[in-house]
């Protein structure tokens, strides 16, 4: 398990007394979602040094539709070379788009 370095810590809840931890074997969905959604260049560079692209792609495939915005999901689908993860190619997201067309 790795402590998220100080530059990455500001995107997490300041009220929490514990520093966020990234378990590379089984990443916490909350930590991953915050880094992938709100992380800056240094945050994402750190994350990519910790996890291989295959692990990032697996996380986005499993959790991305629920935990990332459509914009971030599209970005990561293109960045990881996984067009099957694009929001417009996921029929399960159609209902969500009907309810909340953002």
The answer to whether residues 32 and 59 touch, using CB atoms and an 8 Å cutoff, is: yes
pLDDT (tens digit, 9 = 90+) per residue, 54-99? 999 999 988 988 899 889 999 999 999 988 888 777 666 666 666 6
Q: How far apart are CA 20 and CA 43, in angstroms?
A: 13
Per DSSP, the three-state class of 50 is helix
Nearest of 100, 99, 57 to residue 81 by alpha carbon? 57
Parse the chain into domains and list their residue ranges: 2-99
Taking only the tens place, the pLDDT of each residue in 9-42 is 555 554 455 556 666 677 788 889 999 999 889 8
The helix, strand and coil proportions of the chain, stated in percent and rounded to the nearest 5, come to: 60, 5, 35
Among 6, 13, 52, 15, residue whose Cα is nearest residue 34: 13
pTM: 0.68
């Amino acid at each position: 398990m790795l402590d998220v370095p100080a530059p990455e810590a500001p995107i997490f809840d300041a009220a929490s007394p514990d520093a966020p931890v990234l378990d590379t074997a089984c990443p916490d969905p909350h930590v991953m979602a915050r880094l992938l959604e709100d992380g800056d260049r240094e945050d994402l560079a750190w994350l990519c040094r910790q996890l291989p692209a295959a692990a990032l792609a697996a996380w986005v495939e499993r959790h991305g539709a629920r935990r990332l915005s459509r914009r971030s999901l599209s970005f990561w689908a293109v960045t990881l070379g996984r067009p099957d993860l694009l929001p417009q190619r996921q029929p399960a997201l159609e209902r969500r788009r009907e309810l909340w067309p953002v």
